[in-house]
Structure 1
Amino acid sequence: MEKEVIIEKINNFLVDEFEVESEDIMPTANLKDTLELDSLDFVDLVVAIESNFGVKLVSHDFINVETLQDFYDLIENKLS
């Protein structure tokens, strides 16, 4: 799957499922601060990733994930 498709899918479900404002979605956005995702949102995010990409994520996958770009990269790496 191409990176642009991954980014588009992630951005779409952030807007649709997490009610994130589309103007807040940028690669440098901090998942916790800018996007205001709490711990329950992260659980929902893991479920959304599994259903949209067929990728299983575990808590240690998020250790170095701070920004949306980090998150895009994580999903891209899991898919390759």
Structure 2
Amino acid sequence: MMETSVIVKKVDHFLIEEFEVEPEDIVVDASLKDTLDLDSLDYVDLVVAIEATFGVKLIGDDFIGVESFQDFYDLIERKVNI
């Protein structure tokens, strides 16, 4: 089982590196889409980065209800710890 703190650290790292997000903009209850300024192509890049980083498979339905960074962390934690 991967600990939540490890997941958060890895996610934040690739968001900062790949999406050029300022670390102070990553707030657990902030809107993921608005903060990252995601369009549909960015979502594809995000999914590819998650799959490469964590070795999990994501589908579009996985993102239903994912609004905040915390929702995003929770999604990845559920997938990683199946």
Interval of TM-score (by shorter of Structure 1 and Structure 2): over 0.9
Deviation (angstroms), 1:35: 2.2
Instruction: Please give the residue correspondences for 1:1-80 in structure 2 after superposition, counting only pairs within 5 Å.
Output: 1-80=2-81
Aligned partners of 2:35, 2:51: CA distance in 1, in Å? Answer: 23
Q: TM-score, normalised by structure 2?
A: 0.93
Aligned partners of 1:79, 1:35: CA distance in 2, in Å? Answer: 23
- The more displaced of 25-34 and 41-50 is 25-34
CA RMSD of aligned residues (A): 0.7
Deviation (angstroms), 1:33: 1.2
Deviation (angstroms), 1:44: 0.4
- The more displaced of 24-33 and 8-17 is 24-33
Deviation (angstroms), 1:62: 0.3
Work out which structure has the larger RCO, using CA pairs closer than 8 Å and 6 or more positions apart in sequence. 2
Question: Percent identity between the aligned chains?
Answer: 66
> For structure 2, which runs of at least 5 residues remain unmatched after alignment?
none
TM superposition outliers: structure 1 runs of 4+ over 2 Å: none
Q: Give the partner amino acid of 1:6.
A: I
Q: TM-score, normalised by structure 1?
A: 0.95
Deviation (angstroms), 1:2: 0.6
